[in-house]
Structures are given as C-alpha cells and as structure tokens.
Structure 1
C-alpha cells in the first residue's frame, strides 16, 4: 500500500504535468492535431467536472475550521482532498480545452475557458500556500468558490442556453401575443428552434458551422447546405435532418435530446412550403392552411378590438346570396362584409349594416353599381379599416362622404374617375396607410399633388403595362360548406376587378376560351373539384386555385372498421367516416382516421332499399407530413354471399411536396342489388427517393365516405 507521503508527492508533481499540458493547449490548441482517442477524453469533460468541484469545495472548507492546526489528522485529510480535487480539475481543464476544438466558439466559451483555467491555477496556488495565514487563505478560498460557481454558470450557458443557472430567478411572465399581431417566424417557428435546436447551434457552440440563434445564421446555412430553401423541402437541410430515423447519426435533434413533436415538425415544414419568410404575419396566411390552424392555437384569440361581438342572429340574417358577413378570423368580433352579384345588388341593403356598425372593419363593394347611392353608412362604420370600392362609378360627393370616416387605413378606388373635387376629398385622408387609385384619370400633376398631400401614405397609381407583362394572382374560391346536403353556394373573387375568371368543376385546368366564365355566385349539387384562373388583357393568366366540395349523400346503416387506425389519429372511430363532418385541412384536428402500419379496410352495411350508384372517399394529402395518395383502392360488393370486386384502381402518385389539401376519390358502383360494400385503401409502405424521408412508411388519412343513389 502506497504511503500517504508518497501519494502526496506523486499528486503534487502531477499538478505540474497538468499545468504544462493546459498551457500548451490554451496557447496553441488550434494548431495541434489531436488523435481520436484524445477527442474521446475531451468529450468526457461534462462527465468528470462534477468530481473536482466537490473535492475542491470540500478541501477549502477545512480552512474555516477553528484551530485546524491543532488537529493534524483532520488537516491532512483536508489537504489531500484539495490536492486530489485540483488534480482532477487539471484533467477537466485539459479535457475542456480538447472539447473546445469541436464546433465551439464565441464569448461564452472564452469566459468559461478562462474561468476554468483560473480556478485550476487558483487551486494550485492555494494548495502550495496552505500553510500561510488564515487572513490570506480564507478570502482566497472564497474567491475560489465564487470562481467555481461562475465557471459552472458559463458552462451551463454553453450546454443548456443563456442564463440557464439563473433562469428560475429571472423567470418572467410570458408576453401574451394577440393572434392579429403574431408573426410566423418570430412567434411560431423561432420558439421551436430555441427549445429543440439552439443549444447545439449558437454562439459558443456551432455544430456543423450552423447558427440558429439569429436570422443571419439561419439564412447562411451550415457546412453541408442551406438550412432552409424557400418553398423547397427537398433542398432544406432542416427538413432532411428532422425526418431522418431517430437512430440515424445525423437525425436532429440528437436522440439523447428532447425530440420534435409531430405538430412541431408540421409547423416547420409548412413554414418552408409557405416560403420560409422571416417577417410574415400569421394573419397573412390562408386561414384554411394547416400552418394557420396549428399556429393560431398558440395565441390569444382575444383581439386588440375593444368592441363586443355582434349578435350571431344578426350575422346569420345578414348573410344571403348577395352578401357575405364573416369574422376576420375564427373567434374574432371584427367582421368582413363582401357584396357580390351586380344584378342582385339593392342599394337600400347597405342600411342593414347598421346592426353591425361597430364590428365591420373591412367592406368590399367592388363592381357594385354605386352611382348616386347614399353612402352615409360608410361614414358611420365606426371601426372600418379597409374599404374596396373599385369600378363602382363613384362621384366626388361620395368620395367626400367616405373621407369623413377617420378610421380608414386602406382605400381602393381604382376604376373610378377622380376630378378636382374628388382629389380634394382624398387629400384630406391623412390617416390612410395605403391608397389604390389605378385607372382614375389622374394627371401626372395631380398625382404629385396627392403625394404631397399624403406624405405618409403608400399610394399605388398602377403602372404602364406596355413593355412588361405581369402574371395575375390566383382567384379566391369560397364555398358555404365543404360538405353539403343538397347544394352549396360557390363564389369566386379576384382583387383586380377587371380580371375575367374562368372555372371548371371536374378538376381540369381552366383556359381563357373554352372554360365556363364566372359571372356571379353559383350553386353546386354534387361533389366537385373546382378550379379557377384569372385572365386579363396585357396580363399573363394566373396560376390555378382550387377547392373540393363534398356532397354528404345517404348515411348507411353501419360502418365497421376491419383494421384499426393509428391510436394518435383515431377520430371518433368508425363513426368518423359517416358522421357527415368534414375534417379540417389539418391531420391533427381530430376528424381524421390515419393509417401507417396497415392498410385502411372497412365494411359498409347498407340500409334496406338503399341502392348507391356512386361512392366517394374523402382523403387528405400532405407529402410534407408523409401523407400520400393511396397506392391502390379496391372495392367489393356483396348481397350476403360472395364478395365481388368492382373497383381496382391505382391512383396517381405524388412527384413533389405540395401544401396540405383535400382530395375526393369517386367511383361508380354497378347497377345491381347488394347490401354490403367493402373498401380497402392501401398506404404507401416506403416513401420515394425524392422525399426527405425516403424509405420511411407513409400514411393515408380518410375522414368521410359518401354514398349517392
């Protein structure tokens, strides 16, 4: 057994070995090439650092024991504890200097590194000066203890994030953000990155040359590619890494860290699909999109509006075939009112808006015949912020009446002639943030006058289209109901009032000649995929927009699930498929059955005398969330005996990642008697090579089955 004296001698001399190694790594660590086994020592830094902390603190505690010099055995025990602790501190410092060469840099690293070295040196000095006066040793031991605490604080910042140690003392109530003020990146995406990603990609710890603690770092990307590519999931490093199997080396976050939830994955991927913008307001996203549905749940649905909500009965009464009244977003008391159908417009109907004069913040009267119509209601709408009266034959007196509404922030009067009196009326609206005056006949001189009168207003006078051809925006298609009984009203609109809208009801791409021309709202009485495009002289035709509407049909006697959906997407079980409730454009909304580990199979028992001749399967597609078209659909019929297969189709497969959307698979059933129908919808078992999650299992999502006679 080694004697205490010999052990002390070895440990004291070993201290100088650690001092020398630490000095070499501290001064020239960047130019030293270390073998892999040394890197393993570096990564043990977080494992061994706790031991020297305890030993050093335990050792310096003995300097505070009264009359310790009269207790030689106790004194020697304390000295050995300090000596052992300082030796382990030396090993910890060396391991830390080795570890610092792996993607660590920044101020936090420098503070932690230098503080650790000072703690080590301080421990060595205190040990060799241990026989000095307590007047020197006790303050020195306190400084050493404080140094240990500060070193641990900066180390925790590196590993767990800024102010990790002091966070409980600094905890503040989170700021409540109104939905109308929320931004997609700042308030939805960035908190996910901060929680699940930033600890490894921030100042002081930049793995893969990627920083996620500020926007510039996100835009710069990492050593293996761009972190996000707007609208392109396949070339976004983030999407690739979060969708790798958990066991994969490059899966992010690492498997020993808290993982992203399915909802968080969907938000991040939908953000990329939507363009990966850093300044986009959440309210600028289509309310039907999955990103809006998921993100909007995180914010205060209470709005900055101080007025109360309107009476629901009044809103229901105001909604009719020529006027639509709806909240600006779900749960908001603020209302948007739109008129359509020129032939059906009744000027006196404007007075109906007195019932909701406090709640109307947007009013759309585009193309309505307003010549000489009394517009005093517009003046009296107390909180009106946006008014669109394009191509409505307004005169200067009406413009003067509109100018008396001091709450207006946005005004569109394109297509109306503006004379000197009208110019004077517009010039008084200094509160306007934006003004659209296309095709108003204003001369260059009058345009300059208007700009001088409204210096803080963004004024759009239109443009000279003779040399440039622009593409129109897609029109907006709206339906009263996604799933309807007998019929549903379809309306299509476009912000440019002169644009011509063409549409189809069978999913074909509309053209400017053969497709049906939109002339006003129309009724649809069967399931349809409606597509629309806008066309105008001297413009490129717009991209298509589309929606799918479903006719509910006749519910069967019973529906039995032959295979069980995933427990996380179980909806209301078998009732889900026949409850005539259309699922939202979001697979996590609770109205869908999701299958991944097995195919969807179910049996339908018909009512007596029920003779369906058509069956429609309502699906959800969202490749970014691994939800693909089925690889095969098979349908059998039976009258209680043998099953006879009547449908065996292989739907078209996806070739790229598209936004979340509905799809309707409709099949004709034979004209013969049968009492049962069996359906099998096969999911994709291995995602294609072009997908970021190539090789993973895909999903099918179904929310409704419709049977029509």
Structure 2
C-alpha cells in the first residue's frame, strides 16, 4: 500500500511538471473563472508548507552522503519522501500563484521574477527527486543541488514578500531611520520626507507598479496625481472631499477601508498629517521651513522628522586643567565641557547687576578652550569686545540684548572659527553692519531680530551675503492668525508646606487660561477657566493653555507642584558631592528651588558615582519629632549624557541615629533610548512613623543599559529637592 501510494504521488509530480509548463507557455491566453480565482487566492495560505518542507529536505540532502547517513535506510527513505511531499506542495503553490497573478492589480518586473524563481524552484526540486538515486549522483552533486534549491527558495520568498509588503519591507525600519536622521530640517521637504514615508510604510505594498490594487500607484508624484480607477486620490485644499481621507476614515470592517483589515493601520498622527497636507494643496516640492512657524502641518512634520545627529567636532587643542575649571565656576559664571571627553568649553555669564569686564579677563587660563560664550542680557559695551577677541577658538557668541553696536563688531573679525553670532535686541544699524559683515569669513547665522532693521534692509543684507542666514524674527503679514504664547506662573516657588494658591498669568490681555489637574490636555470648552480661586493641597500637575478669539491657542505648558510639609533643622551629607555640581551642598535638597534641564544649572546637586563610587546619603535631624509617611525626590534624566534616575532609594528613620529602621525602598523607571531630557519625581509611602532622625540613601545606577554608548558604566545622579510629608 505504501509503495502504491508513493508511485501514485510520483505520477502526480510528473503530471504537475507538464501541467505547470503548459500554464507558463500559454499564460497570456488563460482566462481564470471566479471559482479558480478563489483557489488562486489560497496561494499565500499554502506557500509556507513547501518552504519549510523543502528547506528540511535540502538540509538532509546536503548531509546525505556522510558515512553515518549514507548507510542509514530510515534517513534515506525519510529524506526522499520529504523531498517528494515538498515538491508536490510546491506544485500546488505554483499553480495557485499563476491563477492569482491573472487577477487585476498584479503586474510588473517583481511579479515576473517571483513567478519564474518559484517555477524554477519547483522544477529543480522535481529534478533532484528524479535523479538523486542515479549512480553518478555523488556528495558534491547533492550539496550543489541542495544549495541551488535553497538559493531559489530564498529568491522566491524575497520577491513574494516584495509584492505583498513592498520592496524594502525587511530593511525599511533601519533604512528609513537612517534617511530621516540624515535630513536636516532646513532641507526637509513636506512630501518627500514626511508624507511619502507614510505611503511607503502603510500603502505602497498594495499600490506599486508590481501590485496596482484599484489601478492606483503611490510610489511617485505623477501616479499619485493620476489616482486610480475610482478617480482622483484627493481634492487639493479640501480633505473632506478627498477619496484618500474618505477611505481612511471608513470603519475598519468596511471592505473599502484603507489600509485593509489585517494590514498595519495608520496612526492618528499620520492621518492628521495626510489631512493637513491635502489642506495645504498637497504640494510635492515645498520645504518644511517654508511653512509658517505656527502652521499645524509644519509643527507635526517637525515632530515626525528625526533630529540630525551631528558629528562631534574634533579640536586641535588640549583640555584645560580640571582644577582651573572648578575654580572658574562661581555665582555669576559657569564653565563646562561642551561634551564628554571633549577639550572644548562653554561659558555662560549671568547676573547683570554684578557684571564687569574683569570677568572676561579671568578666563585667560582657558581662552584657547572656549568655543561658546553666552553674554545674553549682560551690559557688554563695544570697548569690551576686544577682550572677547582673545578667545581665538570661539565658535558661538551670544550678544543678545547687550549694549554693543555694529561698529564695535570689527573687534571680533579676527575670530576665524566664529560661525554663530547673536545680536538680537542690540543697537546695531544697517550701514555699519553692512560694512563689517564681509570681514567675517566663516559666519553661518546671525540673529538680528528686534534690532530696528527694516525688512528691506534685512533683505539687502541677505542678498549681499548669501552664505549667511540672517534670522530676522516673525513678520506678521496679516494672512494667518497668530499663535498665543504659553501661560506663565506667578508663584515664586511650586513647593509648599500645607496649601498654595495657583497663580497663572498671560502677557496678553483678554486671554482665557484653561487648565486641568488630571493629566489631560486642556480644551476650550470643558476645561475650567483660571479665576485665581484654585487652592492646591497635595502634589499636583497643572496643564495650562491660553485661548483667545481670533488667535490660535497656545501650546500646552506643564507646572508641577509639590507638597513638602516638613523641613529638617539640620542636614548632613555622609559623602561628598561631585566636584562640579555642588549647588548649595546639603541645603540644596530643602531650599524649595527646582532645577531646570541641563546638568550645568547651578540649582543642581549631584553625585558622580562612576568616579566616587558613593551613594548620595544624607541624615536629617528634627529638634522635635515629626510624623513622616512619605518621602519624595525630584531628579533629572538626560540619558545621552549618562544622567539616570536612582537605581534604589532607601528611607531609614527613628529616634536614635545609630538604630534607624528601614521604612521603605523606592525604585524609579529607567528611560528608553532617545528619550528627551526630562524632570521626574518619585515618592515612597509607608506607615506613619514619628522620627527624630531620617536617613535618605539614593544609589546611582551601577550599570547603564546595554543600548547606551557607555553601557555597563555607572551613571550620574542629579537630585535638586526632596519632599517630606
């Protein structure tokens, strides 16, 4: 019975070769009736069987002539039967595929390659089965035949996947990230870099020259404008009348919904982008930066574009002495490295009332290392610019809202590396600026908004200096409504002991400030209007937004309020803080000052565990015992520079500093790769304990994640405030 079944299968295999050869020869004359179309559509369902079976059969064929296998009857019979079954499944799959290819919407070079590699795979497998028992069929022939079959199998699968999912389906996530990461915002185009990738990821697998579902191709602008058999894809300027948006918004269960059920659906952000693109007349060449800064399409496009990863500049000077840098940091100046392991320094001078020119002279020891200098809002005059010219490697200089004039800028023309100059809010004039600008050889950007330069003067400067980008600020042309700036907070501190009144403000009169306390974004209808009567009594996150008739609403702004009922009478650190980030020492954690993002902000205190290998450990003492039921910490995350949350926080308490008991342990969530810098807080709650002494131990992360460039190294921990309740 077994032999008869095998002979019958062999006869079917032989007949299949003749039948498939016939189909291939007379394919163009075939007319497929509906019942055969149903069989043809089973091609994607059945094709996985021959792939797996033939792959196993070829592995066995490759090792067939090994000593331990050649004399094994079971091995020989099993591999032969496996090849026979795989070949028969391949015959069925090829036949179904040929039927399916005759349907409307399948054409192109990829289909041809898939058809012929699939047929070749079947014929090769059949030939191997027919010849594998011949006397001349030896080990070398078996290995070559097995490899040939596997190659045909891989090629067939590749072309089939390209028809179903698009040509670059496998490598699209990697290649698209690289392309987007390599595209600077100023060069990005709305269609090419924002809209087209959506089509490629969600639509092109069914709408390409090789698979034209509905006679629609979405691979190029000409085909997109042409549309499909049901008409034009969109009406420029009118998303509601556009077929593209209509099909997207149909119910997923509707057979006309796009993408069809079973395919990866468009996200809400992608649907919004497509609608905004159509509303913007669906152009194919407009740059993102050509759209107004407040335009919704530009805002969504910028958010979608990957930031350009700039290559770190290599400097030809040595690093400054660490002790010198430490000495130069004080109450009116910060000096810090621009990047880890870089010799270049960035200097920020603040506190206008305490400024004098000698603060620049004090930087003599690091003048070669300074590449960035920020003097924003300092009373700097022309007479002091010659001191700045001594910083020979200066790249970026911020003189916004200083007292300099264009005449004084000639003192800076010797700075051969200077490429960014900020002059906004100064007293520069067109005539003097026009005369001095050509002397700067490497300038790329100059900020001159709020300087009194007229639009025509700015246009003349730009035309005469094509290599320099003059940033003149926003000019209201009256064509589009302006966007409100965000609400501001009037509270001097967002840390309070018992209760605090919420105080918000806006510089524009007649603005409604709406806010929420539940984490949702405020809207113009349901969210309460700020009236000055809100009292906060617990940790609260306020989200606020400004609204006014005739204006675009502002962006959402978030304010975090923290309750801290108790302040210790004394605080002692058991281990020293990092040498660069001292802030106010132990007082930092209970001074009601929250830091901002940026490790060099003076408000931060931190512990560089990778160097000191210490925990941030402090002991708080209360003259009168207090009931404590929770402890919170406020910290910064900036994964790119190795600033991570604490790995573990231990809270100890009691009446005797030598006999404290563990009250609770706290862990914080770790950031993911590419997360934006952020400020976070974590709180540990426990059963109320009356304490005289409280010990808080914050342990820095011992090993940064595997995805980090400094994986397995210790992280830096930055904490600016602690909350006791």
TM-score, normalised on structure 1? 0.48
Bigger RCO of structures 1 and 2 (CA < 8 A, at least 6 apart): 1
